[in-house]
Amino acid sequence: MPPLPSELAFVPFVSVEHMMGLVHHIGVEEVLRNLADAIESDFKRWETFDKTPRVASHSDVGVIELMPTSDGEMYGFKYVNGHPKNTKDGLQTVTAFGLLADVDTGYPKLLTEMTLLTALRTAATSAMAARHLAPKGAKTMAMIGNGAQSEFQCLAFKAICGIDTVRLYDIDPAATQKCARNLAGQGLTVVQCKTAEESIEGAQIITTCTADKQNATILTDNMVGAGVHINAIGGDCPGKTELARDILLRSDIFVEYPPQTWIEGEIQQLDQDHTVTELWRVITGQTEGRKDAKQITLFDSVGFAIEDFSALRYVSQAIEGTGFFIQLDMLADPDDPRDLFGMFQRSKG
Ligand code: NAD
């Protein structure tokens, strides 16, 4: 009988089923609030993190990306794809998994699904940014693009910013109906709209969350009035944007990590000397977010590794003492660390 591996050999693994169980157990709005707080606290210590634009492998139909970062104590990465054509084949546009490791030993400490977690962390980041940038007292949000991310966005803006009405629009009416159905009974007034123009009527916040591998124009310049906050989520790849360039010229633009956003965000449409503000500087009080009621603020979100790190850190703590994970026998653990072959040989039985 080969010796049993020690505790160190096991890595907690959170499956999709366990993630769903964990989020139901805590409550989805509570998780969104917790994630927003975890992300905000990591943005406050922005300078302690190792940062790099994500490593992207592009194809004609999509992208596969690795998103690493470390705060010196823990290291995290996410594997994520973006394939807008997938939904036609019954597959998701975005899927992901991630890992958290101990910098001191290099040993993994958590492996988890991150498809659901990405939707939660993206929504939490958007609402956390809006907490600093959106007009005070905003109650109505236009939600353009009613796919996989959309309900999470709506619930995060309700839980974190106090939005009470969402106005939905998608080029595919079935997506809008699905989103409205899922949001029924969640404490939001839900209005289904037939055009993007109709969806932005009376909205103080406009979220664009569409998926199309092209320079799309989800919002034209004449659609955006003074004082709104735009939460632009779907433009997150070279050649994949959602806003007319003129909107960017009228907006104060806030970004996560400029070296990545210049490659992937709406600002790829601008000259590189255009002024953009890093969100972490607003959060730490080094610079102002919204200055007046007429200003158009734009969060040009592409999704950054630190948000995933915060989410991994949160999940790692949240599963403690629960049954929402299993232990994976993932690391070889020979009695003598240099006798890997001996361990292999003895395992023959
Ligand atoms: P999805 O494919 O499930 O949904 C996208 C929706 O957009 C679909 O319902 C589609 O019909 C709709 N759409 C496409 N073109 C449109 C148009 N012109 N007008 C209105 N609706 C239109 O995708 P998803 O998982 O919800 O992701 C949405 C986008 O967000 C993707 O582009 C994805 O890459 C991006 N994303 C960004 C972040 C981030 O951190 N910024 C995180 C996750 C996903």
State which ligand 1 atom lies nearest to the alpha carbon of 169: 20
Residues annotated as part of the active site? 236
| Residue of 79, 83, 88, 94 to mutate, ligand 1, most atoms within 8 A of C-beta | 94
Q: What is the pLDDT along the chain (349 residues), one digit of tens a residue?
A: 444 556 777 999 999 999 999 999 999 999 999 999 999 999 999 999 999 999 999 999 999 999 999 999 999 999 999 999 999 999 999 999 999 999 999 999 999 999 999 999 999 999 999 999 999 999 999 999 999 999 999 999 999 999 999 999 999 999 999 999 999 999 999 999 999 999 999 999 999 999 988 899 999 999 999 999 999 999 999 999 999 999 999 999 999 999 999 999 999 999 999 999 999 999 999 999 999 999 999 999 999 999 999 999 999 999 999 999 999 999 999 999 999 999 999 999 7
State which ligand 1 atom lies nearest to the alpha carbon of 301: 41
Burial class (CB in 10 A: 0-12, 13-18, 19+), 98: buried
Instruction: Find the 300 Cα to ligand 1 centroid distance in Å.
Output: 14
Closest by CA position to 280, among listed 302, 255, 260: 255
pLDDT of residue 9: 79
Instruction: Find the 217 Cα to ligand 1 centroid distance in Å.
Output: 13
* SS (HEC) of the chain: CCCCCCHHHEEEEECHHHHHHHHHHHCHHHHHHHHHHHHHHHHHCHHHCECCCCEEEECCCCEEEEEEEECCCEEEEEEEEECHHHHHHCCCCCCEEEEEEECCCCCEEEEEECHHHHHHHHHHHHHHHHHHHCCCCCCEEEEECCCCCHHHHHHHHHHHHCCCEEEEECCCHHHHHHHHHHHCCCCCEEEECCCHHHHCCCCCEEEECCCCCCEEEEECHHHCCCCCEEEECCCCECCEEEECHHHHHHEEEEECCHHHHHHHCHHHHCCCCCCCEEHHHHHCCCCCCCCCCCCEEEEECCCCHHHHHHHHHHHHHHCCCCCCCEEEECCCCCCCCCCHHHHHHHCCC
pLDDT of residue 6: 67
Ligand 1: residues with CB < 6 A are: 82, 84, 87, 93-94, 118, 122, 144-150, 170-172, 175, 209-212, 216, 218, 233-234, 236, 301-303
pTM of structure: 0.96
Instruction: Find the 11 Cα to ligand 1 centroid distance in Å.
Output: 33
State both tokens at 333.
Answer: 């653990």
Instruction: Find the 212 Cα to ligand 1 centroid distance in Å.
Output: 7
Instruction: Find the 16 Cα to ligand 1 centroid distance in Å.
Output: 21
pLDDT of residue 1: 46
Fold type of domain 7-116+306-339: ornithine cyclodeaminase, domain 1 (3.30.1780)
| Residue of 149, 206, 208, 214 to mutate, ligand 1, most atoms within 8 A of C-beta | 149
Q: Considering only CA atoms, which residue is closest to atom 29 of ligand 1?
A: 234
Domain borders along the chain are 7-116+306-339, 127-304
In our burial notation (b when 16+ CB lie closer than 10 A, e otherwise), range 50-88 reads ebebbebeeeeebbebebbbbbeebbbbbebbbbbebee
Fold type of domain 127-304: Rossmann fold (3.40.50)
